[in-house]
Each structure stands twice: as structure tokens, then as C-alpha cells.
Amino acid sequence: MLHLLFHELHPPRIKVDADLEFVFRVTFGKGSEIGTPPASGMAAWRWARQLGLDCRMAERCAALQAQQALGKAAVREIEVIRLQMTANERARAEARQRLATAVEACGVEVVLLRQAALYVSGVSDFSGKETDCDVLVQESDLDKLTIALINAGCVTELRATASGRKAVFLGQQGGAIVLHRQLRFSRMVPGGVFVDLACLKRCGLLLRDDVTKNKYLWVPSKAVQAADLTAQALVEYRFAPEFAATSALLDAQSLGLGQDEDLAFDAYLMIQTDVEHAQFEAWRELMRALTAGDLGGLSKRARTLLDHGLAAATLPSYRLRLRAQRRAQKWQ
């Protein structure tokens, strides 16, 4: 089923100024130079924060010694973010440890998703600052794992999300373990049911977690990770203004989705029911353009995706339109 997409909503055209170009160059770029400095360091930093790229910006600016280009005020804010990133990493590490303890105790297998999967895959370029540890668990094991997580010292909390309210498990430092039964809008057969843990295992798309060496923790293949990130951005959360679309682009590109044709082929097979191919290729085109630092020759669809991400993060009027559209959207 193909859903209403961005080009039918006509997001407003957003001017990509020198400050925003600087943010994209630093966060998506692979080089060791920052190039032309921004017109305003604080304006560039505001762009980074609005787009959810502040953690990646803070890391890269420190590595590239870009303090002089940004100015003292922006550097002070970056230092605050770096301290918060250290605290977030401690929270994530504690949540992962409690998860490892719980699955060992109850013998339930889980699959690490999204930021957790990128982390254990050794990807260093992803943008995430969330302390969530998303995991996929078989529905028949939900109750057993829930009890084990509580016994491991986690507390439950009801959280409002873009897809409704769901229970999460919090560690002592605030890191959250979020359980999923399916990868929404990812399917092994066109028009079939959503992918679950048993399906991934049966199809040989799971790898062992070499970081923790825990036999109950799995990591999905890069194709599954790329399909999941793309399905989130282009289908599940595309009308949720709180979803950081530009950050999701960076995460998907960190897997090599923009350049790797084999990876793209395998990933698209899992989402072809819900994502039209032209939209998928525009998504990949935008990744390549951001990485290359050249947005001048974008196709209409890729430019629409970029405008959507920028407007959703910065324009109150467009955010209101997205909320109205999301309420009207009917999922299959």
C-alpha cells in the first residue's frame, strides 16, 4: 500500500544559507577540513540543534578544531552538549547492561535496533543522542522479558510517542529500553506481514553481538537496519514533526545506503509495499548530495524531501500542517 507522501503535501521551500551549508558540511562530510566558516556561528549552531544534528556537530567540531569558526558563544553551548553526550552514553551503557542481565536470566533472545544496532555495528558517524535502546522481541516472550527487566532493576514508564503511548523500561540513569514486536512497514514478502524476530532469524538476517558477546543478543544485517530507518522516515513517522528527518538521513547514510547499490537493493525489497521506488531513490540521492556537499543539482523529489525535513524542524505553520495530516492519515 502506497501512502500519501511529501510531494503531495508541498512543503515550503527553505533557503539553504551559508550557515546551514556549514552544518551539513561538518555533520555529513568526511573530510578533515571545515572549509568556509559560517556567517554566524550561533546561527549555524541553532540549525544543528533544530535539525537534531547537534551531537554530531559537537563531535565533529571538536575533531576539526572548528571553535574559531563558530565563536565563543557557540563553543560554550557545544561544550554543554558534549557533557550531556557523556551522561547519555553512561545512561545507554547502563540500560544495555540491564538488558543483557535480563535476557541472560530469562533466556529470551532479542534483536538490537536503530541506535543500539549502529553502536554495536561499530558505526561512528550516526547522529543519535537518544538514550533509548530499541529491541525487537518475539511476542510470545514479551511477558517473560518484562518480568526479567523489572527483576534486573528497571522501572516502567508510560511514554507518549508519535505512534501513541507505550510502556518503556528505565534504568537508574534514565536510559530507556523500548520493546518492539515487529519492524513496522518492513516485510519479507510484498504485501505480507511485518517482519518479526523469528522471520529475521529464519531468513539468516541476524548477526551475533560481538560487543557484549551475549548469546541472547542479536544485531540485524545492514540491509534490515537500512530498511527499518527508511520505513520510519518515509512511512511511519513522516508526518510527525518531532521526528528528526535530517538526523535519520545521517544515520541511514552511515550504513552506506546512499552509495551501496547492493545494500539499497536488499533494503528496498523489504519496504517496496509501502515506499514507492522513486521516493526511495530520492532519499538516497539526498544522502549522497549532503555527503558531497552539493545540493545544487537535486531532483524535485529529493529537494522536496530536504524542504520537508527543514520545514518540519523550523516552521511552526508547517508543523501544524503535519500534525493535522498525521491525525487524518489512516494506516493500513
| 143 and 182 inside one domain | yes
Residue 49's pLDDT is what?
92
Residue 60's pLDDT is what?
83
Residue 124's pLDDT is what?
57
Mean pLDDT across the chain: 87
The answer as to whether 291 is a domain residue is yes
| 308 and 200 inside one domain | no
The answer as to whether 35 is a domain residue is no
The answer as to whether 60 is a domain residue is no
135 vs 36 pLDDT, higher one? 135
| 171 and 145 inside one domain | yes
| 189 and 235 inside one domain | no
User: Does 61 score more than 70 pLDDT?
Assistant: yes
In angstroms, the CA 282 to CA 284 distance is: 5
C-beta of residue 115 within 8 angstroms of C-beta of residue 232: no
User: Does 121 score more than 80 pLDDT?
Assistant: no
| Residue pointed to by grid coordinates 546561527 | 43
Residue 1's pLDDT is what?
43
User: Does 278 score more than 50 pLDDT?
Assistant: yes
Cα torsion at 110, 249, 47, 53 (round to 10°)?
30
**47-51, 71-75, 194-198: range with lowest mean pLDDT:** 71-75
From the list 303, 253, 312, 302, the residue with the least C-alpha distance to 281 is 302
Residue 281's pLDDT is what?
97
Give me the percent of the chain exceeding a pLDDT of 70: 89
- Expressed as residue numbers, the domain containing 124 is 100-220
With bands split at pLDDT 50, 70 and 90, how would you rate the model's confidence at 162?
low
210 vs 107 pLDDT, higher one? 107
| 212 and 225 inside one domain | no
The answer as to whether 259 is a domain residue is yes
The answer as to whether 64 is a domain residue is no
The answer as to whether 74 is a domain residue is no
| 212 and 300 inside one domain | no
**48-52, 185-189, 212-216: range with lowest mean pLDDT:** 212-216
Length of the chain: 332
Question: What is the separation, in whole angstroms, between the first and last Cα of the chain?
Answer: 8
Domain end point (choices 152, 185, 220): 220
Residue 266's pLDDT is what?
97
Q: Classify the phi-psi angles of 35: left when phi > 0, otherwise alpha if psi is within -120 to 50, otherwise beta.
A: left
Residue 86's pLDDT is what?
87
User: Does 331 score more than 80 pLDDT?
Assistant: no
| 112 and 180 inside one domain | yes
| 193 and 227 inside one domain | no
| 273 and 196 inside one domain | no
In angstroms, the CA 265 to CA 62 distance is: 36
User: Does 36 score more than 70 pLDDT?
Assistant: yes
In angstroms, the CA 40 to CA 5 distance is: 34
DSSP letter (8 states) at residue 37: P
Number of domains, the chain? 2
Domain end point (choices 156, 191, 220): 220
The answer as to whether 55 is a domain residue is no
| 254 and 314 inside one domain | yes
User: Does 148 score more than 70 pLDDT?
Assistant: yes
pTM: 0.89
| 110 and 193 inside one domain | yes
Domain end point (choices 173, 203, 220): 220
The answer as to whether 331 is a domain residue is yes
Which range in 33-47, 151-165, 265-279 is most confidently predicted, on average pLDDT?
265-279
| 190 and 227 inside one domain | no
User: Does 25 score more than 60 pLDDT?
Assistant: yes
